[in-house]
């Protein structure tokens, strides 16, 4: 149940383009809320709400440094999400391979 909740939070956080952009930016290194807001044209409050969602999902950590809030990539990697995606990718690949084999066999019996 806990793992499912973590997956739900990760996918919910990744569902938004702005939050994916924040993660991409933080991949280059730490940034302040102001630095994250600049390229988006969003308010600091708006960016902060996105950062909060990412923080709850464990994808971002924040730390108050003086008067600014410094953001970094979080310790929660996307291993659980990738495992979930990989499971379903393999499942669909097997099904599609089976379907391809069926049509190949059916085509061969028509001749």
> pTM here?
0.74
- Residue 22: name the closest of 11, 12, 36 by CA: 36
Please report the DSSP string for 5-70 in residue order: HHHHHHHHHHTSHHHHHHHHHHTT--EEHHHHHTTTT--HHHHHHHHHHHHHTTSEEEEEETTEEE
Whether residue 82 sits in one domain with residue 72: no
Considering the domain architecture, whether residues 110 and 62 belong to the same structural domain is answered as no
Q: Is 70 exceeded by the pLDDT of residue 103?
A: yes
Number of domains present in the structure of the chain: 2
pLDDT band at residue 17 under the 50/70/90 scheme = very high
More confident call, 21 vs 105: 21
- Tell me the residue length of the chain: 111
Q: Which domain holds residue 45?
A: 1-76
What pLDDT, in 10s, does the model give residues 1-10? 557 788 888 8
Q: Are residues 34 and 68 in the same domain?
A: yes
Q: Do residue 90 and residue 107 come from a single domain?
A: yes
What does the pLDDT average to over 41-59?
95
42 pLDDT more than 60? yes
One domain, residues 83 and 66: no
pLDDT: is 77 or 99 the higher one?
99
User: Considering the chain, what is the average pLDDT of its residues?
Assistant: 89
Residue 44 and residue 14 share a domain:
yes
Q: At what angle do helices 17-26 and 44-56 cross, to 10 degrees?
A: 80
**Edge-to-edge strand list for the sheet holding 60-65:** 31-32, 68-73, 60-65
What pLDDT shows up at residue 5?
81
- CATH number where 4 lies: 1.10.10.10
Model pLDDT, residue 111: 59
Q: Are residues 63 and 82 in the same domain?
A: no
Mean local confidence (pLDDT), 51-63:
94
| Contact (Cβ atoms closer than 8 angstroms) between residue 77 and residue 93 | no
């Amino acid at each position: 149940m806990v793992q499912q909740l973590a997956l739900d939070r990760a996918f919910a956080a990744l569902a938004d383009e702005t939050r994916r952009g924040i993660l991409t930016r933080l991949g280059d290194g730490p940034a302040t809320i102001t630095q994250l807001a600049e390229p988006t044209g969003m308010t600091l409050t708006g960016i902060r709400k996105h950062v909060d969602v990412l923080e709850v999902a464990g994808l971002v950590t924040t730390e108050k440094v003086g008067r600014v809030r410094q953001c970094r990539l979080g310790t929660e990697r996307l291993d659980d999400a990738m495992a979930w995606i990989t499971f379903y990718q393999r499942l669909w690949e097997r099904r599609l391979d089976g379907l391809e084999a069926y049509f190949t066999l059916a085509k061969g019996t028509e001749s």
